[in-house]
Amino acid sequence: MKLDTAKILQKRKKQILELWMKNQLVDFSLREDLMSNEELSVQSEELVNVLLQTLSNDNLEDVQSASFEPLYEVLETISRSRAKMGYSPRETGTFVFSLKDALLNVLQQEIKNDPVQLLDESMKVSKLIDSLGIVTFETFIKGREEVILRQTDEIAEISTPVIRVWDGIVAMPIIGTLDSARTQVVMENLLQEIVATSSSIAILDISGVPAVDSLVAQHLLKTVSATRLMGAECIISGIRPEIAQTVVHLGIDLSGIVTKATLASALRHAFSLLQLEVRRPIVKTKAGIDG
Amino acid sequence: MDKIPILKIGHFLMVAIQVDLYDRLALGLESDLVQAVSKTGAKGVLIDISSVSIVDSFMGRILGNIAGMSKILDAETVIVGMQPAVAITLVELGLPLKGVQTALNVEKGMELLQKKIQITEEEEIEDDSTLQ
């Protein structure tokens, strides 16, 4: 007699769901702080519904079958949302794999007279759930990667502030290694700010850049060229002795650029370009009056 | 065919490019401008490209050409109001427009031109006085 596993499972849906919920609730990885039990049961019911709807005897042996697509979709949504909520991989994995216990349990009750068939069907079911587990992990990791990418963007965004130090002078302290993607952000922010404040002098402070190699130097040169094209002057400051050494050893030509050791001297240079002067107020001292 | 107007202000010529330059328009501008410089004997050329949002290597070369030609005709060229995206594109294309003066806006461009012309006039006077 040919057994219809899909039918059996569909018939016992309610029991499967109950078993699965019970499995999940007793498991030590249950996270009530992240998701309430009601939400969990809604999520579980949704997954079981889709699983049993898409399951048929024809596709049980073919986990790559296109008819499983809706199932994978639901699973991906759940997995992604869990990744964002801060579930650990083990917790997310347990969520899917505890379903296997429930399904096998039901199968065991239904086909208890025929061990060969039971083994056969159990293998198929467990293969299917394994494949679901793999999909879960793939999306879980993808979800995490999205989070990391977003944070990288955020760091890049906040790590390049443009400071207006004087009327017509903007400064930009760069902290961290300059790669091409970051140079792009640095350049865009700086140029945008030059337009917004119509500043004629920009100071790039590289005290926070750990190392300057030929690539970084090229990026700096590009930024300086772009600032010049806009009609502003660019000064590079914060060059540490080690950086001066590497630049010379690498044979990088920075002769076309104004470079200063500190932000203060860059600012002084900027003042002299703008024909500004900083001086102490003249205080008439007693000695001065006497003199 | 479209034309870009060339305005004469005092000793200077001013060109405001309000549309995206396509190749034929740029070539037309190049020849018109050189003609205008020689006809008016202008001392400076101010090109405002603040409305230009797209450039290619051709446009970059045309700007360089205009500056070079005006220089031969004894006129300084200042390009003003370049947008950040345009500046980045030109740098990435490897066209840093060396030899072209730039300024942030028309006002600063005018100041720069006036300063330049004063310097050259002073030099001429000095040259004349040394000759005498």
Please report whether residue B1 resides in a domain.
no
Question: A141 and A36 in one domain?
Answer: yes
Report how many domains make up chain B: 1
A29: domain CATH number is 1.10.490.10
Q: List chain B residues with pLDDT less than 70.
A: 1, 124, 127-132
The CA distance from A104 to A255, in Å, is 75
Judged by CB atoms closer than 8 Å, whether chains meet at B96 and A231 is answered as no
**Closest C-alpha to A229, from A254, A247, A202:** A202
State the average pLDDT for chain B. Answer: 85
| Number of Cβ within a 10 Å radius of residue A254 | 17
Residues A191 and A136 in one domain: no
Task: Give residue-wise pLDDT tens across range B79-115.
Answer: 999 988 889 888 888 888 877 889 998 988 998 888 8
Domain CATH code at residue B10: 3.30.750.24
Residue A290 covered by a domain: no
CATH of the domain at A236: 3.30.750.24
pTM summary value? 0.60
Residue B71 placed within a domain: yes
Contacts A226 to B, Cβ<8 Å: 84, 87-88, 90-91
Q: B81 contacts in A (CB within 8 Å)?
A: 231
| A124-131, long-range: CB < 8 A, 24+ apart | A124/A5, A124/A60, A124/A61, A125/A5, A125/A60, A125/A100, A126/A100, A127/A61, A127/A63, A128/A55, A128/A60, A128/A63, A129/A96, A129/A97, A129/A99, A129/A100, A129/A103, A131/A63
pLDDT for the residue numbered A287: 57
Q: Closest residue of B to A222, CA-based?
A: B91
Whose tokens are 């070539």? That residue is: B27
Q: Are residues A65 and A19 in the same domain?
A: yes
| Residue-range definition of the domain harbouring residue B116 | 6-131
pLDDT value at residue A266: 92
Q: Does A118 share its domain with A183?
A: no
Helix axes A115-158 and A69-85, enclosed angle (nearest 10)? 50
Best of A230, A233, A255 to disrupt the B interface (most B CBs within 10 Å) is A230
* Residue from B30, B27, B4 nearest B15 by CA: B4
**Per-residue pLDDT tens listing for chain A (291 residues):** 456 777 777 788 888 888 888 888 877 666 777 777 788 888 888 888 888 888 776 676 777 777 778 888 888 888 888 877 878 888 888 888 888 888 888 888 888 788 888 888 888 888 888 888 888 888 888 888 888 899 888 877 777 788 899 988 999 998 887 777 778 888 888 898 898 888 989 999 988 888 888 888 888 888 888 998 888 989 999 888 888 888 888 888 888 888 888 899 999 999 998 888 888 888 776 655 554
Residues of B in contact with A230 (CB under 8 A): 82, 84, 87, 102, 104
- pLDDT the model gives residue A2: 53
Q: Are residues A216 and A88 in the same domain?
A: no
Place of tokens 């100071």: A203
**Listed residues A130, A156, A182: the one ending a domain:** A156
Would you call B90 and A222 a contact, using CB atoms and an 8 Å cutoff? Answer: no
Q: Is residue A280 part of a domain?
A: no
Question: Would B25 be classed as within a structural domain?
Answer: yes
How many Å lie between the alpha carbon of B21 and the closest alpha carbon of chain A? 18
Q: Are residues A242 and A131 in the same domain?
A: no
Residue A283 lies in a domain: no
CA gap B23, A212 in Å, rounded: 40
CA torsion through residues A226, A227, A230, A233, sign: negative
Q: Tokens representing A250?
A: 């690498």
Same-domain pairing of A140 and A178:
no
Tell me the two tokens of residue A76: 């991906």
Which residue is associated with the tokens 């002073």?
Answer: B122
Whether B30 maps to a domain, the answer reads yes
Q: Are both A196 and A264 inside the same structural domain?
A: yes
Residue B47 has a pLDDT of: 92
Q: In chain A, how many domains are there?
A: 2
Q: Among B84, B88, B102, select the one facing A228 at the smallest CB separation.
A: B102
Q: Are residues A192 and A80 in the same domain?
A: no
Range of the domain at A54: 5-156
Secondary structure letter of residue A131 according to DSSP: H
Unique residue bearing structure tokens 């330059």: B21
Question: Does B105 contact A198 at a Cβ distance shorter than 8 Å?
Answer: yes
Residues A141 and A19 in one domain: yes
Task: Please state, as a whole number, how many other Cβ atoms lie within 10 Å of the Cβ of residue B132.
Answer: 4
| Distance of residue B82 Cα from the nearest chain A Cα, in angstroms | 5
ipTM over 0.95: no
Rounded Cα gap, residues A86 and A104, in angstroms? 29
